[in-house]
Amino acid sequence: MDVTSFRLLATALAMGLGAIGPGIGIGLIGKGAVEAIGRNPEANSKIQTMAILAIAFAEAVSIYALVIALIIKFVQ
């Protein structure tokens, strides 16, 4: 295998492994928010605000993985 093949493999692994964690985390955040709203509907606005903020932070990790994958792919 040449360098290009390793670079493409590393790009795929960086993006794949970098996206699986935030995907699971966002699912758990959504699950927790729905359960919390089901138990205490009056706190809907506070729970929703915190869930959206947590999802944004989790999504940032995936964006970092995308940036690393692009650096691996295009920077020599």
Q: What is the mean pLDDT of the chain?
A: 93
Distances (CA, A) of 73 to 19, 66, 68: 17, 10, 9
Q: Which candidate, 3, 14, 17, places its Cα nearest to that of 71? A: 14
Positions of the chain with pLDDT under 70: none
Residue-wise DSSP of 47-68: HHHHHHHHHHHHHHHHHHHHHH
User: Tell me, what's the pLDDT at 1?
Assistant: 82
Hey, what domains does the chain have and what are their CATH numbers? Answer: 3-74 (1.20.20.10)
Alpha-carbon span 21 to 69, nearest angstrom? 15
